[in-house]
Homo-oligomer: A and B are copies of this chain.
Amino acid sequence: MDIGKVDQEEIAARVKRLQSRLIQEGVDGFLVTQHVDLYYFTGSMQAGYAFIPAEGEAVFYVRRSLERAEQESAIAVEAMSSLRGFRAQLAGGHPSVFGGDVAAAGKPIKIATEMDVLPAATFAKLAEITAGGQRGCSLIDGSSLIRSVRMIKSPWEVGRIEAAATVVAEALDAALPILKEGISELELMARIEYEMRIRGHIGLMRTRSYNMEIMTGMLGSGAAVAMPSAFDGPAGGLGLGPAAPQSASRKTILRNEPVLIDIGCCIDGYVIDQTRTAVIGGLSDELAAAYAQSERIIRHAEQLMIPGTACDAIYAASLEDAAAAGLAGHFMGFGTGQVKFLGHGIGLEVDEWPVLARGFGNPLEPGMVLAVEPKFTFPGSGVVGIENSYLITDDGCRQLTKSSEGLIVL
């Protein structure tokens, strides 16, 4: 278990970064409720709530397992009382936030929490509980605070992502020999998943968005993977039926059709995301040209990925590159199925900040990790493209993906 344990200083630095943001925004504290955020700020994913005051010591209030939280957590751990008694427990632990002397000031307390993931019923209950004091308390949305703090990765986190990159690369190499004409998408995906799992993949890539599921990526072939889907990505796939309407289907893989292998895994909590395109035989000229263009777009993006470049500028450049090749209508999906981004942050979740999309004018910063995935969709024929993950460094970017590049021709 030691490999996954997060050290004290790492956690202390994360807490401090959140605290300085809280002070900046005039927020008195953060009530952390989501298991992934709890892991990020405590080093433990046991059940409970962590309270991080703008100033002072953070405490992890644990429902279960207290014993494991005490082993894992880098911040103070306390057994959580009943939910009814939680307000009093917070007041006792954080008198500078909830205590009597500040009450004199008369200003209501402002506590942030993750309204982007916390269910409305639990939010309402927590708002009622925290409001219990004399000063009153408003529970506000701190989703963007959390997301912006988590957006910048530490060297330790980059190491975890690289470990995940190694697992995906090894798993793909181990599974590819079974890719032969006549096997199903599901058979290929199941084998890749097995190879990732025995190497330590936790079983799913966690997501932040409501209703979004990506256990191990999106794999599909020919017309099936070019189907439009609910998934907010360029290629959702056909899936196993209406109750699992994305990724691998039972469709048989044929000669001369592209096989899109968009896969990832989660090692020690951190995900990687990559795409390679394979074909048994060869691609049509049209698809081969589109694949080549996807490599050109990712090369161009690599040049642009330096600290200071605005995220939307990289997306805009990719749109221009696609249009220049006469492929604007096929880029990142087709027709109403087109999605409006080129890449996305990855870390503990697969849908992190920043996003390479219109409207994201914020500049790249060292420590960001992004998956960049130019793809072209041809209804009835398939999807081709490439995806690598990158760390933004002080003067450019460094590729974290380890699989060799180029169309895989079998």
A119-B120 in contact (CB<8A): yes
Report whether A1 and B116 are in contact in the complex, using a CB–CB cutoff of 8 Å.
Answer: no
Please give, as numbers and ranges, the residues of chain B lying within 8 Å of A64 by CB-CB distance. Answer: 228-230, 232, 336-337
Cβ 8 A contact of A241, one of B124, B186, B197, B268: B268
A78: B residues at CB distance < 8 A: none
A270: chain B residues within 8 A (beta carbon): 243
Among residues of B, the one whose C-beta sits closest to the C-beta of A64 is: B230
Q: Is the CB of B39 within 8 A of A6?
A: no
- The answer, among B44, B120, B200, for a CB contact under 8 Å with A123, is B120
Q: Max chain B CB contacts within 10 Å: which of A43, A44, A230, A270?
A: A230
Enumerate A247-286 residues with CB–CB distance to B below 8 Å. 247, 249-250, 266, 268-270
Q: Are A242 and B194 in contact (CB under 8 A)?
A: no
A300 lies within 8 A of chain B by Cβ: no
> How far does the Cβ of A343 sit from chain B's closest Cβ, in whole Å?
20
Nearest neighbor of A190 in chain B, beta-carbon distance: B197
Measured between beta carbons, the chain B residues less than 8 angstroms from A268 are 240-241, 243-244
Asked whether any CB of chain B lies closer than 8 Å to the CB of A211, the reply is: yes
CA distance A216 to B116 in the complex (A): 26
Q: Cα distance A43–B5 when bound, in Å?
A: 43
CB pair A118 B210 closer than 8 Å: yes
Interface 9-mer from A66-74, A100-108, A301-309, A313-321: A66-74
Distance between A176 CB and nearest chain B CB, rounded to angstroms: 16
Q: Closest residue of chain B to A45, judged by CB?
A: B245
A203 touches B230 (CB 8 A): no
Q: Does A65 contact B (CB under 8 A)?
A: yes
CB pair B39 A243 closer than 8 Å = yes
Do A44 and B186 touch (CB < 8 A)?
no
The answer to the question of A328 belonging to the interface, with a C-beta cut-off of 8 Å to chain B, is: no
The answer to whether residues A4 and B243 also contact, given A120-B118, A215-B204 and a CB cut-off of 8 A, is yes
A143 at the interface (CB under 8 A from B): yes
In the complex, what distance in Å separates the CA atom of A117 from the CA atom of B39? 21
Does A213 have its Cβ within 8 Å of any Cβ on chain B? yes
Q: Which B residues lie within 8 Å of A193 (CB)?
A: 193-194, 197, 203
List B contacts of A4 (CB < 8 A): 240-244
Residues of B within 8 A of A229 (CB): 46, 64-65, 68
CB closest chain-B residue, reference A6? B242
Q: Does A198 contact B (CB under 8 A)?
A: yes
Shortest Cβ distance from A284 into chain B, in angstroms? 24
The one of B1, B5, B115 that contacts A121, using a Cβ cutoff of 8 Å: B115
- Residue pairs across A and B with Cβ atoms less than 8 A apart, 6 shown, are A64-B232, A72-B242, A120-B124, A120-B141, A203-B213, A244-B266
Q: With A193-B203, A240-B268 given, can you name 7 additional A-B contacts, CB distance below 8 Å?
A: A34-B211, A35-B211, A44-B245, A121-B143, A194-B197, A215-B215, A243-B269
